[in-house]
Amino acid sequence: MFRSYLRQLAARPVASSYTSLLVLLSSSAFADAAPKHFEDSGYSMNIGFDTPMSTIAGLTDWAKEINHVYGITAWITAAIFFVVAIPVIVAIYKFRVKPGDSDDIPPKQVHGNVLLELTWTIGPVILLLFIAVPTWQVIFRQYREPAKDALIVEVVGHQWWWEFRYPSLGITTANELYLPENKEVLFQISSADVIHSFWIPQFGGKVDALPRPKGEFNTMIMVTPPVPDANKVGGLLYQGQCVELCGLSHALMRFNVSLRTQDEFDRWAKAYNNAPVVATEAQRKGEQVFNQCMGCHTISGTVSATVPGDKIGPNLTNFGSRSYLGAGTRRNTSENLAEWIDNPEAIKPGSLMPKLGLSKEDIAAVSAYIRQSTAKSF
């Protein structure tokens, strides 16, 4: 591990390597302690340079700007460390009590040295300006007017899942955020209950989701990175996580970012609200069972979409196309969905979804209905 760290050290700016060392030291401490939930979900608990929760290999303009400021800060603090530590070490050695010294002679006292006092006042001020000016620049850039064709995504935190709305596309989805590549995106972030915090580590900083009156939100703006060449078809998933302690299942309040080519994104958006295809006997039965779920969940193009009011559960339109369920807690498989419906509390402690007491057959049917998808292959 240390060898690979040294290799990275050679390949990256000192600032990043400095953080990397801290990350490596801490990761080795808990890499093996991953609870079962994390393994089930396929989430990686390995922490390193390019792994999903790494902030070092920033992909968006926003992430790179933050790393730039971070780099300057790390260089300056490293310099301060040496400027202080080296004289201290020299002084400890040079002025130590030697045999024969009397140990009650105080050192020569210095008072009112104008040059010294000016130096240690002005020096830090200049250093702080070197940190402050780039910081202000990044902050002001973050609050710029979005481009005319920027994609607006409303992000709403709920205990414990994420709602994503695309007002220009008429789409509401949950826990899997579709984004087109190379596009300016303005996130309008708020909360339906308590304070959450929206974070896609590889895409940049965190912004709090606050419970505020309708129409008030915090914003975050970024240009999405390109889809890597190897993933032009099907896109690539990035991980997101709530980073404000928001209750029992805060750690299980995750989401995914599906980064797509513009073409795939457009196809997804076009097909998203299509009514589900109900083809098999199980799906027909599941459609009936789903009537019990309509108070909390919506599937576009069905009766459930006509139930008025804000639903407290995630929108389940095109649920079959999502990679994970339970806000990134488990992979989206029939078995995991059945387990979830049977007893949500077992997977996500404190979940607002009650144990419905459905029979095994009803669970299988409703799972077949929910997991069918009109837009599985974009």
- The CB-of-250 to ligand CUA minimum distance in angstroms stands at 3
Segment interacting with ligand CUA, rule: CB under 6 A, options 169-177, 228-236, 243-251, 300-308: 243-251
3-state secondary structure the chain: CHHHHHHHHHHCCHHHHHHHHHHHHHHHHHHHHCCHHHHHHCCCCCCCCCCCCCCCCCCCHHHHHHHHHHHHHHHHHHHHHHHHHHHHHHHHHHCCCCCCCCCCCCCCCCCCCHHHHHHHHHHHHHHHHHHHHHHHHHHHHHCCCCCCCCEEEEEEEECCEEEEEECCCCEEEECEEEEECCCEEEEEEEECCCCEEECCHHHCCCEEECCCCCCCCEEEEEECCCCCHHHCCCCEEEEEECCCCCCCCHHHCEEEEEEECHHHHHHHHHHHCCCCCCCCHHHHHHHHHHHHHCCCCCCCCCHHHHCCCCCCCCCCCCHHHCCEECCCCEECCHHHHHHHHHCHHHHCCCCCCCCCCCCHHHHHHHHHHHHCCCCCCC
Question: Closer CB to ligand CUA, residue 250 or residue 285?
Answer: 250
Kindly tell me which residue out of 17, 151, 169, 196 binds ligand CUA, with binding defined by CB under 6 A: 196
* HSE toward the beta carbon, residue 236, CA cutoff 13 A: 14
Residue 244 interacting with ligand CUA (CB under 6 A): yes
Residue 174 interacting with ligand CUA (CB under 6 A): no
- The CB-of-236 to ligand CUA minimum distance in angstroms stands at 24
Question: Closer CB to ligand CUA, residue 53 or residue 246?
Answer: 246
- The CB-of-187 to ligand CUA minimum distance in angstroms stands at 15
Residue 165 interacting with ligand CUA (CB under 6 A): no
Site for ligand CUA in 92-121 (CB under 6 A): none
- The CB-of-191 to ligand CUA minimum distance in angstroms stands at 8
Residue 157 interacting with ligand CUA (CB under 6 A): yes
Segment interacting with ligand CUA, rule: CB under 6 A, options 115-123, 226-234, 240-248, 350-358: 240-248
Question: Closer CB to ligand CUA, residue 66 or residue 327?
Answer: 327
Residues in contact with ligand CUA, shown as a per-residue x/- string from 250 to 269 under the rule CB under 6 A: x--x----------------
Total of chain residues touching ligand CUA, rule CB under 6 A:
9
Question: Closer CB to ligand CUA, residue 64 or residue 206?
Answer: 206
Residue 246 interacting with ligand CUA (CB under 6 A): yes
Residue 286 interacting with ligand CUA (CB under 6 A): no
Residue 242 interacting with ligand CUA (CB under 6 A): yes
> Given the rule CB under 6 A, which residues bind ligand CUA?
157, 160, 196, 242, 244-246, 250, 253
